[in-house]
């Protein structure tokens, strides 16, 4: 997966989080976002974003890191 694809994954993740702000607090938002990733993202997409989060966590927003951690814990 190219750097452009990784950039797109990060952008999509941030959009998923932003689109679910109506769910309430950050905990609930990241739960919903992680569930979305589990259900709708291809395995390769999930593996790529998890690997990136483990390599460069500072490059991601706090909600994105939390979402990815929940995704990884349930994998």
Q: How much is the pTM?
A: 0.92
Q: Which two tokens stand for residue 6?
A: 């990784």
Give pLDDT tens digits along the chain (75 positions). 578 999 999 999 999 999 999 988 999 999 999 999 999 999 999 999 999 999 999 999 999 999 999 999 997
In three-state form (DSSP H/G/I as H, E/B as E, the rest C), the secondary structure along 11-72 is HHHHHHHHHCHHHCCHHHHHHHHHHHHHHHCCHHHHHHHHHHHHHCHHHCCHHHHHHHHHHH
Q: How confident is the model at residue 75, as a pLDDT?
A: 77
Q: How confident is the model at residue 23, as a pLDDT?
A: 84
């Amino acid at each position: 997966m190219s750097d452009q694809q990784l950039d797109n994954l990060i952008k999509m993740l941030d959009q998923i989080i932003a689109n679910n702000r109506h769910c309430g607090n950050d905990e609930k938002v990241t739960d919903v976002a992680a569930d979305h990733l589990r259900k709708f993202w291809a395995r390769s997409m999930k593996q790529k974003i998890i690997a990136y989060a483990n390599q460069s966590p500072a490059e991601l927003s706090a909600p994105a890191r939390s979402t990815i951690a929940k995704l990884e814990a349930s994998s």
